[in-house]
Structure 1
Amino acid sequence: MEQFGSLNIPKSGYKAVIFDLDGTLVDSMPAHFQAWCEALAANGAPKDVFPEDVFYSMGGRPTKDIVKEINGEFNLDLDPEAISYSKRKAFLDRLDLVELNEDVVAFAKSLRGKMPVGIASGGSRKVVEATLKTTGLSELFDEVVTADDVKCGKPAPDAFLDCAERLDVAPADCLVLEDAAPGIMAAQLAGMKVITVPAAIHIVE
């Protein structure tokens, strides 16, 4: 095992590494939650339909899928497209709140020139690329797969399988770093080895 802060990474047994972005490479979840609250309120959602603990449990899932689930649970008719647009805009206004997960980034940097490295994110292409650019991570990765690139988002395995194909590495030879249950399930369904990244601790006052 190789130690990167709180992470224990196996030294062998894989030929490529695929990272989740939000909550894994970067601590962006507080900014995403604020964006969700703003977007839901702006589109007429009742208060408290998306509590913070539920938000964290759905980490990595595409916005539109979550809106559809909220509609079903609360018998609402919120527009997934409108909320997705509002949420994306609100998050982009908060990019200054995004911080690097230094341990995960250090591991990613250690891989350059050694093996293929990719990202499989549940975010939209625009948000993912803006996040990577703002945090200075864009040049670290050979391939970036987003929710816009696949038919089914996490917990379906599509994003990880697509990324492995782009990296030209068999799924069984890929190591995944993920923080949230939907993403962990997606990587497991893709037949990949998974390391769970500890969630950042946020004090809620």
Structure 2
Amino acid sequence: MPGLVFPSGSFVAYLFDCDGTIADSMPLHYQAWLEALAPHGCEFSGEDFYGWAGMPTDRIVERLNEKYGLRMPVAEVFAAKEAAYHRLIPTVRGVPEVVAALREAPPGVKRAVVSGSPRASVERTLEFLGLRGYIDEVVAAEDYARPKPAPDPFLEAARRLGVEPARCLVFEDATLGIQSAQAAGMPWVFVDPRALAAERG
């Protein structure tokens, strides 16, 4: 696909991260975080937000507490952030090159979404983009013990699909996600929504 650099090889499964990969939703997640953190007077820099991309929501709250010496209630901030994102979902757009790769996967190629976000968030994003029917499996934050950069999320997707890890191709926008794919022994395609948008002009 134009704009995406595919590694050589024959693959029987495509594994897609959701936020920042299928969906150009990272700016919406950042807005949701700022809304949820504002009552607690907690900062969240863009550098940290994008650097921690792929980290589960509850772990991000814990990291912010550690960094700023706060005691924000994890469950409360988690719920507020997810509620804010759900309000913003109607404005989300897909990353065209990745959506095309998902919809136009070669015959017989299985497709899974592998995300660090809660299942409800992932499912709603996919439904809004009209993509849920193309997906064979969704692996979300509730489905594994160790999040990215551990290999567990992608290995769980391969297990559910019945595919050897080396025959899976991962699509990822985040460093933690690429590290997870590498740890799982899976080739990967790097997705940069801003660079792709610039290419499209």
Tell me the TM-score range normalised by the shorter chain: over 0.9
1:176-187 equivalences in 2 (<5 Å): 176-187=170-181
Q: Is 1:8 aligned with 2:8?
A: no
What is the identity, as a one-letter code, of the residue corresponding to 1:111?
A: A
Residue in structure 1 matching 2:85, options 85, 91, 94: 91
Distance 1:148 1:69 in 2: 19
Bigger strand fraction:
1
Write the distance in 1 (CA, Å) between the matches of 2:7 and 2:13: 12
Once the two structures are superposed, residues 14-50 of structure 1 have per-residue CA deviations (whole angstroms, 9 ceiling, x without a partner) of 22110001000110011100000001113x133xx21
Letter in 2 for 1:40: L
Structure 2 equivalent of residue 51 of structure 1: 45
Q: Is the 8 A contact 1:60 1:122 kept in 2?
A: yes
Q: What letter matches 1:30 in structure 2? A: P
Which deviates more from structure 2 when the two are superposed, residues 55-64 or residues 108-117?
108-117
Q: Unmatched 5+ residue regions in structure 2?
A: none
Query: In structure 2, which of residues 110, 115, 118 is the aligned counterpart of residue 124 of structure 1?
Result: 118
In terms of fraction of residues, the more helix-rich structure is: 2
Structure 1: which 5+ runs fail to align? Answer: none
1:141 corresponds to which residue? 135
**1:13 CA displacement:** 2.8
Corresponding pairs, count: 196
> Matches of 1:186 and 1:194 in 2, distance apart?
10
Q: Structure 1 CA distance, aligned partners of 2:2 and 2:46?
A: 27
Q: CA deviation at 1:57?
A: 1.3
Report deviation, 1:109: 1.0
- Distance (Å, rounded) in 1 between the aligned partners of 2:103 and 2:2: 14
Q: Deviations over 1:95-141 (max 9, x none)?
A: 12211100011111111642111110011011001101111010111
| Equivalent residues of 2:86, 2:121 under 8 A apart | yes
Asked if structure 1 preserves the Cα contact closer than 8 Å seen for 2:139 and 2:157, the reply is yes
- Please give the alpha-carbon distance, in whole angstroms, between the structure 2 residues aligned to 1:112 and 1:77: 49
Cα distance in 1 between the residues matched to 2:106 and 2:186: 20
| Partners of 1:156 and 1:189 within 8 A in 2 | yes
For 1:45, give the aligned amino acid. G
Q: Note the aligned Cα RMSD (angstroms).
A: 1.5
Give the SS at the match of 1:177.
strand
Task: Give the Cα separation in 2 of the matches to 1:153 and 1:26.
Answer: 20
Q: What whole-Å deviation, never above 9, does each CA across 1:165-186 have from its counterpart, x for those lacking one?
A: 0010011211100001111111
Instruction: Give SS of 2:188's match.
Output: strand
Q: Which moved more, 1:53-62 or 1:81-90?
A: 53-62
Q: Per-residue CA shift, 1:146-174, capped at 9, x if unaligned? A: 00111122122211110000010011211
Give how far 1:11 is off. 6.0
Instruction: Measure the CA separation in 1 of the matches of 2:14 and 2:159.
Output: 12
Residue 199 of structure 1: CA displacement?
3.5
Q: TM-score, normalised by structure 2?
A: 0.92
> Does the Cα contact within 8 Å between 1:23 and 1:200 map onto a contact in 2?
no
C-alpha deviations, 1:74-107, integer Å up to 9, x for none?
1111111111110000000001221110001111
For the pair 1:158 / 2:152, whether they are aligned, the reply is yes
2:30 pairs with 1:36: no
